[in-house]
Structure 1
Amino acid sequence: MALNIPLTLALLLVGNSALAAEPPSVATPTPPAAMTSTTRTIQGSFDVQLTPVPATPGVERAPIEHLLLRKQFHGDLQASSLGDMLAFRSPVKGSAGYVAMERIEGRLEGRSGSFVVMHIGEMSGGSQQLTVRVVPDSGTGELTRLSGTMTLDVRDGKHRYEFHYQLPER
């Protein structure tokens, strides 16, 4: 993840004697034109494949599993994804947790590009909490400035998603 670190123009000018006599002119950025967006909700199914990542030879595996995550989304999100997942299952029945980062690439209601989602899931005493959120400013192509959250559900062995998102109008 790249950090958003503001740059200071003054640091670039230190020691430049030609500019010492007059203060530098600094252009004020123009804010982008107001863009409208509405929250949309889509639903569909997905296929998932989890592949354990082998431990490093000669290193004892921690009780945390590392899994390669691959998905194929169907419906208004026609896309494939690849990600990494770290999971832990407690010896206490019904307690577990996982985190994942997943890059999704394809078409969202006809708009092409990619974006990244982050997952955090927890099970405790049989209750579950799951958050899947679009990483800010991760959208590319026609999915630039995408934001949103996704819910995932598995019933009768079938995986389903519901995606609540915002994207500027074209």
Structure 2
Amino acid sequence: MPSIAGTFDVTITAETSSDTAAQSGLGRLPLAKRYHDVLDASAQGEMLSVRAAVAGSAGYVALERAEGSLTIRIEDGKHYYAFTYDIAETP
């Protein structure tokens, strides 16, 4: 299956949480991304996260809006692309 891949840089900024959010483990993090390679784009978004009382247990959802251009190869009328990333551990 045809696919493309590239890299991106992301800046995540922690915001001060309300007392209620802090007590329940909720977090809100603005995102700024810059995509490189075949996807040449910038994006802004928000990530909502939650940490549970169990060590290593957490979850998140992120939404973003990207604007830019994507160079792809089209075969038989089908478009393919893939995004792959690693999330670094935070101290």
- State the Cα distance separating 1:153 from its structure 2 match: 2.3
Work out whether 1:153 is the aligned partner of 2:85.
yes
Work out whether 1:86 is the aligned partner of 2:45.
no
The TM-score normalised by the length of structure 2 is: 0.70
Distance 1:54 1:150, change over 3 A: farther
Task: Structure 1 unaligned segments of length 5 or more: list them.
Answer: 1-38, 111-146, 158-170
**In structure 2, distance between residues paired with 1:87 and 1:148:** 30
- The 3-state SS of whatever aligns with 2:7 is strand
Distance 1:76 1:84, change over 3 A: same
- 2:30 aligns with 68
- State the Cα distance separating 1:93 from its structure 2 match: 1.9
**In structure 1, distance between residues paired with 2:30 and 2:2:** 30
Higher relative contact order (Cα pairs below 8 Å, separated by 6+ residues): 2
- 1:51 aligns with 13
Percent identity for Structure 1 against Structure 2? 39
**How well do the aligned residues superpose, as a CA RMSD in angstroms?**
2.6
The size of the alignment, in residue pairs, is: 79
2:3 aligned partner, one-letter code = T
Task: Structure 2 unaligned segments of length 5 or more: list them.
Answer: 73-78
Distance 1:148 1:41, change over 3 A: closer
Which entry has the higher C-alpha Rg, 1 or 2? 1
The TM-score normalised by the length of structure 1 is: 0.40
Q: Is the 8 A contact 2:52 2:58 kept in 1?
A: yes
- State the Cα distance separating 1:151 from its structure 2 match: 4.2
- The 3-state SS of whatever aligns with 1:52 is coil
- From 94, 106, 109, the equivalent of 2:71 is 109
- 1:19 aligns with none
**In structure 2, distance between residues paired with 1:92 and 1:148:** 39
Runs of 4+ displaced beyond 2 Å: 147-153
Q: Which has the higher strand share?
A: 1
